[in-house]
Chain A
Amino acid sequence: MKKELHITVNGDECHLLVATHRTLLEVIRDEIGLTGTKNGCGAGECGACTVLLDGEPVNSCLVLAHEAEGRKVVTIEGLAKAGVLHPVQEAFVEEGAIQCGYCTPGMVLTTKALLDKNPTPSRQEILDGLKGNLCRCTGYIKILEAVETAKCLLEERGSEWADV
């Protein structure tokens, strides 16, 4: 059975008719057509489907779409502004933290959520914050470097990105 669903995705209000058993991931990818958010495991164990729900990182494969009624969702497509990369994205590019790129959208959003809440995380806090994002390609070393770089970039320019 389908129900009306109103969510804001990357600043755009979406009015959809969605079956009750659809997940937020399915709605983002299939109904709205934003394929940057990836399906890695469907069970909340890999973090590839991470989006921000009212600023909190969540595994969208486990959020029933209707639980997001009236909420704000930010996907990877919502970060860059007018062709300018978000500092976290820029850091990932600069530090070589991207290989196959499949874990990247989730990893970037989790990093953003972490740094938004805690602009000066310790190494352990970074590790704890990103444990839920699996990567099979990079060995995480350059991802860690990217987070440290993003920390600095946000310190310099954070105020320009406060509304994302």
Chain B
Amino acid sequence: MKAFEYVRPSSLEEACAALAGSGGGAKALAGGTDLVVQMKQGGLRPTMLVSLRDVPGLAFVGVGDDLTLTIGAAAPLATVEHSLEVRRHYPAVADAASWIGSAQVRSRATVGGNLCNAAPSADMAPILLAYDALATITDGRSERTLPLEEFFTGPGQTVLEPGELLKSISVPPCPTGFGKYYKTFRSAMDCCTVGVAVWVSFADDTAAVQDARVALGAVAPTPIRSRSCERVLIGETLDQALIERACVAATEDALPITDVRASADYRVTLVSVLSRRALDAARVWAQKGAGG
């Protein structure tokens, strides 16, 4: 690694000021499990690292009384994985966190880091997109909030301006529904080859889909919502035939590349397979009666 300046501010204002004042050469450092690797191997050469370690208020994880899920950007994945509240109310989010990397990685890697690194395969993105998550961005003085869907602008790129930090992710309370994330990987520890997350709610005690959100990871320049798939689902009865049509629609939104991990063709197949498994599970859940 090349030498760099290292600062460890103790407030959000200081942190953002340091990021802003570096002329674009500074990077925020949370867990470092992506950043340090890129600095060692990927040619990333920041002139300054702004450590978020001692900035208060960035690592909070909790579920409010109204069931809003709030995850501080610098909350380690392990905290999300083991949080009793998250496990209780948003188990799919805890699961997604638990399937990233290894225990060692999850001790340090953060939700914010995973999202800000903005790999097309970012493992926290699909399930949070399926939950219509919001991203709160701060520049140290004021905040702005936008749908997570708008946060990613390209592979490795986000809407963050110099001097801005992702502060937190929040999932607004939603009606009872079925949420789950599916990913495939080549061995028991791997970044995802393809990720599919769904959230489906049903009308009364039927299998009629009231609302559906489907998100795909690693099959487009950014994690995306599959609107085509959602349009097929909403307002219809979730049966095998609908699921088949929905899966086809999901593959239409997928624009994967071929790389050393998988071919584009295989990724498209996996989108269909994982979507089907996710929606099948939703259908079974609906049949059992909304269990909360």
Contacts and interface: CB of A to CB of B under 8 A. Distances in A.
Direct interface between A and B, CB < 8 A: yes
Given A44-B37, A62-B108, A66-B51, A57 B5 contact: no
B105 A132 contact: yes
B8 interface: yes
Interface string A113-139: 110000000000001111111000000
If over half of A's interface residues share one DSSP class (helix, strand or loop), that class is named, otherwise mixed; here it is mixed
In the complex, which of the residues A42, A56, A67 has the most CB atoms of chain B within 10 Å of its own CB atom? A67
A53 B31 CA distance: 13
Given A67-B51, A132-B103, A1 B188 contact: no
A94 to B, nearest CB: 24
In the complex, which of the residues A1, A130, A131 has the most CB atoms of chain B within 10 Å of its own CB atom? A131
A64 B41 contact: no
Interface stretch (A17-25, A81-89, A97-105, A150-158): A17-25
Interface string B1-24: 111111010000000000000000
A127 B5 CA distance: 39
B102 interface: yes
B53 A67 contact: yes
Contact of A20 (B6, B53, B98, B103): B6
A64 B3 CA distance: 12
Given A58-B104, A63-B108, A64-B49, A131 B8 contact: no
A110 B40 contact: no
A44 B3 contact: no
B104 A64 contact: no
B98 A21 contact: no
Contact of A59 (B2, B29, B105, B189): B105
Nearest to A55: B107
5 contacts: A21-B4, A23-B36, A53-B107, A59-B108, A132-B103
